[in-house]
Amino acid sequence: MSANVSLFNRGAVRPAECLEAGWNLIKSQYWLFLGITAVGILVGSVGPMAILLGPMMCGIYLCLLARMRGQAVSFELLFKGFDYFGQSLIATLIQVVPVMIVLVPFYLVFFFMFMGNVNRPRSRRGPPPNLADFYPLFILMGVMVLVAIVLGALVGALFIFTYPLIVEKRLAGLDAVKLSFRAAMGNLGGVLGLILLNMLIGFVGLLLCYVGALLVLPVHYASWAVAYRQVFPLEGYQSQK
């Protein structure tokens, strides 16, 4: 990784501006980007261990970055993300495996606690299971959900620039992850602010019978493409290591 590639702007991410600029970026081709995003997420979710997620994320960012450069965007460009299959897979596994290591013990504990309550010996004429017996499970599930949300937000923040770095800077997966970590830490307030803003908008979308959550997805990714460009401008910028 060259010294020039490793340069980036610090304190550059402005969440509200990213959302507004993201919408302005795609609004004239909104339905095209909705289709690109929906298909990318659908295809990326079908493979085991998220092996197709990386190429699809690369494809989505290829489309967004091309739009930023004023180039024509077509649906076929999404599948150009498979040109980066190997490096994007490495980056995805680095992101997914630690999260699984943390969450799997929670799921195992929940499973065994649940089975222990279900299989507890009871008299045939005895009373039905007491709801209070399941309170510890409900509490554990709440903790698991909270941990998953917090962990997902923190991990997502650190990895947020990985895929655009792979497609634009042609970085290896590990190098893209390391540079994304450094850039995210250098812009942590803005990155977390944009994550929370997008989560809020997504939650409002979920309240609209889930349809709204799908409709805002193109804006979600467009806002991150804008944040990436704020941190890694094309030219004529002041950067710091």
- pLDDT tens-place string over residues 20-65: 999 999 999 999 999 999 999 999 888 777 789 999 999 999 999 9
Q: What are phi and psi of 27, to 5 degrees?
A: -60, -30
Q: Is the confidence at residue 94, as pLDDT, over 80?
A: yes
Query: 186 with 240: CB under 8 angstroms?
Result: yes
Question: Amino acid identity, residue 21?
Answer: A
How confident is the model at residue 225, as a pLDDT? 95
237 pLDDT band, cuts 50/70/90, is very low
Chain mean pLDDT for the chain: 81
**Rounded Cα distance, 25 and 171, in Å:** 25
How confident is the model at residue 3, as a pLDDT? 54
pLDDT digits (tens, 9 = 90+) for 143-166: 666 666 666 677 778 889 999 999
Looking at residues 201-224, what average pLDDT do you find? 84
| SS3 label, residue 240 | strand
**Rounded Cα distance, 215 and 211, in Å:** 6
**Rounded Cα distance, 76 and 78, in Å:** 5
pTM higher than 0.85, yes or no?
Answer: no
7 pLDDT band, cuts 50/70/90, is confident
Nearest CA among 176, 163, 180, 175 for reference residue 83: 163
| Higher pLDDT among residues 67 and 45, named by residue | 67
Q: Is the confidence at residue 224, as pLDDT, over 80?
A: yes
